[in-house]
A = this chain, B = another copy of it.
Amino acid sequence: MNSPCAVCAAEADVEYLPLTCRACQGYENGFCAFVAKAPPPAATTQIAQTVTTVPARRIVCRERDLQDSVPIICHGWAASVVALSGGSRQILAFVLPGEMISTALLVATRPHCLIEAITEVRYRLFSRTALQEMMRRDARLMENISRAWFEERVQADQLITDLGVRSATERIARLLLNLADRLKQRGMTQGEAPVMEFPLRQHHIADATGLTPVHVSKVLSEFRRNGLIEISDRSLTILDPARFHRIADMR
């Protein structure tokens, strides 16, 4: 949560890497020169570009901002969102610290959506062409990126079925459990009844689940009244995971 700056920590001593760097794709696959776990391969020095900080609620990047760069989020939460002309919005995915903004950027010149910062976000750009070159040489990197790509696809398909067939209650519960699960995989939860950082506003939940903020508020209140979850001070606790899972899958 209050992890030190990735760059500073890494440059000082690899021992003190924050969680977000330890679970980062750039670190895992050894192409982030700033927090290399092994002596970086030859290409590494070329592919790491500038690090940038964006305040909360601002746009991280647009369609045309990315010429030859793939961003990875070092710190903070972001969302990829589609904004329609009428003012309505749909959040396609939340991007957690340590995640590549989208593996689609590795093949396509342009993302088909906006990336918005939810909290303050620090991200690092990598050269797409250099990364592609590395993938051609390194079968394991290719393998890892492919798996990440497939994972994104599975998440998208799950969102489709959630929006298509599930009720408001189920959708919200599933979103919270999904985030809890991903955070846990990255070692970013504490305790057995999981406690985690939770910077989302209710309107983010609304945009992700296709509901109105008003209705999200009502459903969350219901959850609290039933002792299922607790949200306070930008942190979320799932008080009764077993029962909450049942609510998330009622068909």
Contacts of A147 in B (CB 8 A): 107
Main secondary structure of the interface of A (DSSP, over half): helix
Q: How many residues of A contact B (CB 8 A)?
A: 35
Minimum CB–CB distance from A187 to chain B (whole Å) comes to 25
Total identical chains? 2
Contact B104 A210 (CB under 8 A): no
Contacts of A92 in B (CB 8 A): 157, 160-161
Closest to A81 in B: B161
Contacts of A84 in B (CB 8 A): 161, 165, 251
Contacts of A113 in B (CB 8 A): 157
Pick from B153, B160, B209: contact of A159, CB under 8 Å: B160
Q: A156 at the A/B interface (Cβ < 8 Å)?
A: yes
Contacts of A149 in B (CB 8 A): 107, 149
User: Whole-angstrom distance between the alpha carbons of A147 and B146 in the complex?
Assistant: 14
Pick from B82, B146, B251: contact of A85, CB under 8 Å: B251
User: Whole-angstrom distance between the alpha carbons of A90 and B162 in the complex?
Assistant: 9
Contact A90 B165 (CB under 8 A): yes
Most buried by B among A89, A136, A150, A209: A150
Minimum CB–CB distance from A155 to chain B (whole Å) comes to 10
**A33-66 vs B, Cβ < 8 Å mask (1 yes, 0 no):** 0000000000000000000000000000000000
Interface residues of A in 128-178 (CB under 8 A from B): 136, 146-147, 149-150, 152-154, 156-157, 159-161, 163-165
